Amino acid sequence: MHFLAVGLNHKTAPVEVREKLAFSGEKLASALNRILDLEQLTEAVILSTCNRTEVYVLCQGPAQEGLAQLKQFLQSFVDANIQVDKYLYTLIDLEVVHHLFRVVSSLDSMILGEAQILGQVKTAFHFALEHNTISTHLTKLFRQAIEVGKRIRTETEIGESAVSISYAAVELARKIFGELTGRTVLIIGAGEMSELAVKTLAAHGVSSVLVANRTFRRAQELAQAFNGRAVDYERLTENLALADIIISSTGAPHAVLTQDMVKKAMQLRRNRPLFLIDIAVPRDIEESIHHLDNVYLYNIDDLQNVVEANLAKREAQVGKAEIIIAEEVERFGQWWSARQMVPVIKALKSYGHNIKEQELARLFNKLPNLSERERECIASATNLMINKLLHSPVVSLKQLACDNRHDGQFYASLIERLFNLNLAAESETQVGRRVASPGPEEV
C-alpha cells in the first residue's frame, strides 16, 4: 500500500499546459471517478488551482505501476503533441506527505505566505469526501495537512506583512490612520492598479470612494463599481480636502497634483493627515509636497520597497515552518507505519489460531472419549500457548511501527514471507473499490 502523488505547477509547466489540466465541477467529479476505475487505486483527491494540479491517491499495488497509470490519466486530457510527462513530478509515501504539508503552508506557492492555498486544499478535500472518493488514509492525510497549514500560520509570521502593491498601500494607510473604518479615498485617473488598490482598501474598512477622471463617464463607471461617487476633475483641490487617502494614476505627462494644490487642501481639512499614493509613471504628484506637515507621499518605488522588505520578513520564517513540517511528517509517518502493521498483525494472529483449531480438531478426533471439561482445558491451554507465542512478535511489530526510523512496509513484507501469510485477502476485507467515508474513530 502506497501514497502516490503526480502533479505540475507554475514552476514546472506553462499556463497553456496547466489550463488543460484544470479541474472543477463535473469535470473534477468525473476525473475522480475515472481514477478509482484504474487498477489498484482506491482513494483519490485532486487539488486544482490556477497555479497547480496535483492528484493524490492510495495505491494497493506497486508504486511505479500506480504512477504510470496516473501519468497516462493526465496525458488523456492534453493534445497528443504535448508530452505531459516532462512537466510532471512524482512522489511516493512520505514524499507525498512532506510535499502536501509544504503546499498547504504556502511554502510552494508563487507568493510565499499567501493564504488562499489553505482554503483550496480544504475545498479539494471536502469535494472528495462529498463524492465518496476517499476513506481512512487520505482523510487522515488531508485533515492533518489542514492542521499543519493552520499551525504554521499561527506559530510563524509567514503570512504577515503586505507582499503586493495594493496590500502595501493598506499597510501604510493603517500606520497613518490606525483603523480605516470611516475613511474616504479619492481615485484620480482610472488605472488598473489604482482600482485594485481601492478594492483592497475597501475590503479593509474604507467606507467612501470618490473618483475623479478627465472623462466623467469613466469616473461614473468606476465609482459605481465601489458604490462611490464621481466628482469634478476640474475641482481637484476641493475634492482633495474631502479625502483621507489619494490614489493617483492618470498617465499624464506632467504633475497632476502640485504642492500649492495640496497646501490649499490641507488648509481646508484643518491640517488633518493626508496619505497620497502615486502609482503613475511619469509621476502624478510633485515630490516636494512631502515637506508639508501631516502629508505622507509614497510612489510606486516606495511601495515596491515595502513589498520587498516584507517578502524578506516572510522568507526569514521559512526555517521555522520547515521545522514544524518535519515534526508533522514524522508524526504522520508513525501513524502510517503503524497502519501498515494492522493487516500483518491480524493475519499473523489468524494464522496462529487457525493452526490451533486444526490441531485441536485432529487431537479430539484421536481422543473421542475426552469429557467436555477436558476438551475445554486443553483448548484453553493451547489458546494461551498461541497467544504467548505471538505476543512478543506482535509487540515488536507495534514498536517498530511507532519508531519512524524503521520501515513498516519492510517488516510487514518480511513477516508475510516468513509465515506465508495471505495479506492480499486481509486487505480485501478492509478496502473496497468504493470505500465508505471514514468515521471519526478511523482518523
In angstroms, the CA 13 to CA 54 distance is 12
Cite the active site residues.
50
Q: Which three cell numbers stand for residue 388?
A: 504467548
- Could you give the C-alpha distances from 321 to 76, 152, 167, in angstroms and in order? 37, 6, 23
Identify which of 218, 163, 162 has the alpha carbon closest to the alpha carbon of residue 190.
218
* Max Cα distance, the chain (Å): 119
In angstroms, the CA 57 to CA 229 distance is 53
Task: Please say whether the beta carbons of 147 and 173 come within 8 A.
Answer: no
State whether the Cα torsion 429-433-438-442 is positive or negative: positive
Q: Which helix (H) or strand (E) holds 54?
A: strand 52-59
Radius of gyration of the chain (CA): 32
Question: Can you tell me which residue has the cell 488523456?
Answer: 76
Enumerate residues 6+ apart whose C-beta is below 8 A from 19: none
Enumerate residues 6+ apart whose C-beta is below 8 A from 20: 77, 78, 79, 82
To 5 degrees, how large is the angle CA 67–CA 72–CA 76? 145
